């Protein structure tokens, strides 16, 4: 039986809940209504099990890291996995549309399904679903709320200008 560990991490977008299973990050949850998400009662609190994801997330928010490099284990359908893998290929500081993401996975008519898979991403920020926007260039839904999506995109654009 797998052991699941969690920790909370203070960030500029609120207190995130990080969850690892079998040594890989499997969830990042944004706070809800300003409060951190409570962990499942069966999970074990252990910040050492999430040391590297926490370190890299801190570096990301400090503008010192553009690409994460630690094991991930998002649970989802094969289609969702395909979408999430492609999200990781969107360069730091850039955005694409849902239609473009659908084209990149070889299914140009699947922009709605891509949007649903994007919205089901269990590891936001690390799997950068915030980099997907509407075809009109406007921000669209985000699990953490549009304000957080806007902050993440602004952070990445600001860091690019400093290079």
User: Residue 83 in 3-state DSSP?
Assistant: helix
Q: Which of 50, 96, 129, 133 is flagged as catalytic?
A: 129
DSSP letter (8 states) at residue 17: E
CA-to-CA distance for 12 and 155, rounded, in angstroms? 10
CA-to-CA distance for 2 and 69, rounded, in angstroms? 22
SS percent in the chain: helix, strand, coil, step 5: 35, 20, 45
129 is an active site residue: yes
**Which residues belong to the active site?**
129
């Amino acid at each position: 039986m797998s052991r699941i560990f969690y920790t909370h991490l203070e960030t500029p977008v609120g207190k995130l809940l990080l969850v690892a299973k079998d040594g890989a990050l499997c969830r990042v949850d944004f706070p809800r209504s300003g409060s951190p998400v409570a962990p499942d009662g069966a999970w074990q609190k252990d910040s050492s099990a999430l040391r590297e994801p926490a370190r890299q997330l801190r570096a990301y928010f400090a503008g010192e890291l553009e690409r994460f490099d630690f094991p991930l284990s998002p649970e989802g359908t094969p289609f969702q996995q395909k979408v999430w893998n492609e999200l990781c290929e969107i360069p730091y500081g850039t955005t694409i549309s849902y239609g473009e993401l659908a084209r990149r996975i070889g299914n140009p008519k699947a922009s709605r399904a891509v949007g649903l898979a994007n919205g089901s991403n269990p590891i936001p920020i690390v799997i950068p679903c915030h980099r997907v926007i509407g075809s009109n260039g406007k921000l669209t839904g985000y699990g953490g709320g549009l304000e957080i999506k806007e902050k993440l995109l602004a952070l990445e654009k600001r860091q690019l200008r400093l290079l």
